[in-house]
Structure 1
Amino acid sequence: MPQQDNLSDSNSTGYAPSVFFLIGIPGLEAMHLWISIPFCSMFFVALLGNCTLLYVIKTEHTLQKPMYYFLAMLAVINLVLSTTIMPKLLSIFWFNSREISFNACLVQMFFLHSFFFMESAVLVAMAFDRYVAICNPLRYATILINSVIGKIGLAALAWAVLIVVPLPFLLRRLSFCRSYVIAHCYCEHMAVVKLACANTRINNIYGIFTTLFFVGLDLTFIALSYVKILRTVLSLASKEEQLKAFSTCVSHLCAILMVYTPVALTSIIHRFGDLVAPHIHILMATFYFIFPPMMNPIVYGVKTKQIRVRVRLLFRGKNV
């Protein structure tokens, strides 16, 4: 009975636990070692691919262009996203190290959500880059100068931080009394909110609002850019010119699909959560943070001749 009184008192003052415990993949704990093999492989490819891409863009003077600067930003974001989640995930899979401190959980959550919004903003910037290159080619060099690109990158970072920075403070005000076990393999905002015994309406509304409104806003800007691009491309005289213009957008369109498709599927699974096994939801949510970082360098490497040639020479040990 005294313990219950103390618990009640601590809840009324906004008690926060010192540690949480991550389950990993619920229902598949016995298979964690086997699941770690593809995840570890994808993580290694993501690290190698994005680091190689950054090195090639830095050292190859023909790639010192706005499109590749945005691609470098995307590579940095991919590295942050994958390295924020994968070390802890692999420690759960390999060593059953499930404990994570409350502050470390908030930090992980902040980096994951803020860099997701930053990635979305960079995809908007890349759509703008393709719009200017195709619709206003004569002004491309004067519009997207280095200082403008730098300001766009800083604006994307500031935008993402401002969106996400309220989340840790909203969580700190909550009391946690039900359980300290997070039914997830990383500190996802809503998974932590579900553990609270206080009123979580503000957290729920803010989480839904930020995802639907800001991601919806980014997708709207991307769609508008491609509507204008499509009109311009279709006005070109020959099919060869049309195909050449479209080919410059293929890599970006692939990146858009790889980023937003898992988000859409995860949202659908959330909506119909009772019909989907928990491990499917967790695997899909985790897949997002490792699959696009792995695939983006591959897609751009395959579609971009300069990157493809430079990487081939790099791994052959030759200088360009």
Structure 2
Amino acid sequence: MSAVRRLVARIDLFIVSLLLAVAVASFFPVRGQAAEGLDVAVVIAVGWLFFLYGVRLPTKEAVNALRDWRLHGSVLAVTFVVFPLLGLAMQLVPSSVVPTDLKLGLLFLTLLPSTVQSSIAFTSIARGNVAGAVVAASFSNLAGVLLTPLLVAGLLGGTVGFSADSIGKIGLQLLAPFVAGQLLRRWLAPFVLRHKRVTTLTDRGSVVLVVYAAFSHGVVDGIWTTVDVGSIVAVAVLCCLLLAAVLGLTTFAGKRFGFSRADRVVLLMCGSKKSLASGVPMATVLLPAATIGFMVLPLMIFHQIQLIVCAVIARRMGDAAEPEPARP
């Protein structure tokens, strides 16, 4: 129980900082030359984030996922096939209930990779296959660097104006620093692990900066004239329904495919998550500045809901079951 509380408390502090960034941007949005300077800072911050992702991501473990293709293929299928289909289904909700821009934000969050830290932590609390969770979450993020831009181009491209310029930005701001981090991982990973608190503060600070910039653009373009309390409540309800559907599906699929209990936990915990840390910077690269505020708002709501719900589920699963040896 204490482990769950510590994890949720730590992540809640991050969420609070993001909400403060939204509040500050709502009252003090940047404009003119200051906005141009902030945009440059965001480009640097996004590059730094994906460089760190490259350094941290254990490539060998991600590649080893191919050995257990049924489990990790199932996680990928839920993350990049089932979730997007549910995101498309939510576009049928009337715009009188949820504004179109927020519905597109719901679709965008379904196109993102899984989380890493919380997926592994909750798998451990639920007494699942922790090694499998490390591989599944790592492989999801490795695949997401390529699959998320492709899905955005295919499912959102015509709506948000995805263009050839976007492809160039993906290469320069996402892929190049990520690949550089992977190439330098051998030398930098020990340093990053030794100074985990410092690097965590810098990458979370970068996400907060990106959120502030995104909502500054949104406020200037009138985000709060479109989004009201009723719309936010409706988005929260849809996020709850989305998470419930995926949790139910992953639970059923784990049993249907004959996975061990430890591996069923991996599918449940890794398959049901969406990464805020990757999603916000990806939005700044893949989407027009005027739409980013709308796009990341559903993601922020879903992120908090998934953490609270999965923390409760993980604790109950851990209390109810004896540890099961991991599969060889």
Could you state the TM-score of these two structures normalised by the residue count of structure 2?
A: 0.30
Bigger relative CO (Cα 8 Å, ≥ 6 apart): 2
* Structure with the higher helix share, 1 or 2: 2
Greater C-alpha Rg: 1
The alignment's TM-score, normalised by the length of structure 1, stands at: 0.30
